[in-house]
Amino acid sequence: MNIDKAVNISDLGRLAQRRLPKVIFDFLDGGAEDEITLRANREGFDRYRFRPRLLTANAKRDLSVTLFGETFKVPFMIGPTGLNGIHWRHADIALAKAAADAGAGFTLSTASTSSIEEVGASTSGIKWFQLYPWADRAFCARLIERAKASGYKALLVTVDSVNAGRRERDARNRFAHEVTLTPSVVLDGLMHPDWLFSVWVGGGGMPKMPNVAEFLPPGANAAAMAEFTRSRRNPMLSWDDMAFLKREWGGPMLIKGVLTAEDARLAREAGADGVVVSNHGGRQLDGSLATIEALPEVVEAAGDAVVMIDGGFRRGSDIVKALALGAKGVLLGRATLYGVAAAGQPGAARALSILQAEVDRVLALLGCHSVAELGRHHIAEV
Ligand SMILES: Cc1cc2nc3c(=O)[nH]c(=O)nc-3n(C[C@H](O)[C@H](O)[C@H](O)COP(=O)(O)O)c2cc1C
């Protein structure tokens, strides 16, 4: 794949689509039900326009942000996505390395295909760990212990998925954290030889989720792990559990999936240091608010808690809009996944460098000297 030809994130998306079989690309790209929220995440950015200021002598711009005492070179980081190894072999490590090289953070999912320890040791870059509170408190406490021992700096607890959403593309393709080998899936695989040989044949079929392996009998296969993730969702979770997780972790903790002022307040009361405004990339509750629409009320309710956001970020201008509306940083989902699925670590690096250049250009045209300077006055709601 010639990723240098990709001038924006959409181009990387097209390259990823070309390299992956449909069943895999649909898993990466798709959303829940009618994909209303998936589209709304993108369309929401159009409701906000810039109010540029002129002649500000801003030849150099500072893109850095400081979160929980750590300084990042750019105001965006790679967010948690599960099963990354189905797109590119050892993709978690490729993404973590690309992030470290770009001075961006990396978040490892509970459902990663490389372990907490492997990714922890793979770079000296700043890493966060995302916890799915599957099963019980002992499960959560054990993963927290491992993430602490491996030097992860912040814990993101994803709470929008304690009940399962429904992705109809996956249902049609019979993809459920494992591939059903129907004749059309086999044919599709054969038509994507680069993916077939490097990921499927080279990796020995469906990648496993090593973080959950110790909760299963020795030698459990990927299907058993997929079943674990389905059967151990815990819809009885409550804010009390969040307070428990904060005590176990001790460090900075963010609740991921918040879309309302009410829950932002409850997150703070439970001891969270921050929230991630997120609708899981439109993969859970279809018809929910676009994240950029929910951002202002969450920022207002969050007080001094750190507000991060994800959902539909494909342009530097999207990122700058969110920062101007009060987010402290942006998490990337599909943007860097497209890159890694198209071309591994260089593809992820390309996605990050495209976004860095775009953020810098927007700041320049907006008359800003730094990300820190951004504020509500840079934005009009239309
Ligand atoms: C393929 C895929 C897998 C994901 N897996 C996880 C996960 O394991 N944990 C999690 O908290 N969020 C997961 N998410 C949601 C992302 O963290 C993030 O909220 C979302 O992708 C942001 O939207 P965007 O992809 O449009 O940027 C996943 C998203 C995608 C696309």
- Measured distance CA(152)–CA(80) in Å, rounded: 13
User: Are 347 and 341 a contacting pair, CB within 8 Å?
Assistant: yes
79 CB under 6 A from ligand 1? yes
Query: Mutate which of 280, 288, 319, 331 to test ligand 1's pocket (most atoms within 8 Å of Cβ)?
Result: 280
Decide whether any atom of ligand 1 lies within 6 Å of the 321 Cβ. no
Segments making up each domain of the chain, as ranges: 3-127+162-240+279-297+305-381
In the prediction, which pLDDT does 255 show? 98
pLDDT tens digits, residue range 219-272? Answer: 999 999 999 999 999 999 999 999 999 999 999 999 999 999 999 999 999 999
CA distances from 338 to 1, 6, 11, 35 (A): 12, 11, 9, 19
Question: Does domain 3-127+162-240+279-297+305-381 sit in CATH 3.40.109.10?
Answer: no
Structure tokens at 382: 């239309």
Residue 155 φ then ψ, to 5°: -115, 125
User: What is the spatial distance between Cα 331 and Cα 320, in angstroms, rounded to a whole number?
Assistant: 13
Would you say the CB of residue 127 lies under 6 angstroms from ligand 1?
Answer: no
Rounded (10°) angle between helices 261-269 and 291-302: 40
Residues in the chain: 382
Taking the CA of residue 79 as reference, the ligand 1 atom at the shortest distance is 17
pLDDT, one tens digit for every residue, the chain (382 residues): 689 999 999 999 999 999 999 999 999 999 999 999 999 999 999 999 999 999 999 999 999 999 999 999 999 999 999 999 999 999 999 999 999 999 999 999 999 999 999 999 999 999 999 999 998 999 999 999 999 999 999 999 999 999 999 999 999 999 987 888 889 889 999 999 999 999 999 999 999 999 999 999 999 999 999 999 999 999 999 999 999 999 999 999 999 999 999 999 999 999 999 999 999 999 999 999 999 999 999 999 999 999 999 999 999 999 999 999 999 999 999 999 999 999 999 999 999 999 999 999 999 999 999 999 999 999 999 9
Closest ligand 1 atom to residue 80 Cα is: 17
The candidate with the shortest Cα–Cα distance to 280, out of 87, 38, 107, 47, is 38
Cα separation, 51 vs 59, whole angstroms: 19
- Write down the catalytic residue from 87, 177, 192, 280: 280
Q: Per-residue pLDDT tens for 267-282?
A: 999 999 999 999 999 9
Q: What is the pTM for the complete model shown?
A: 0.98
Atom of ligand 1 nearest to the CA of 111: 8
Q: At 338, give phi and psi (nearest 5°).
A: -55, -45
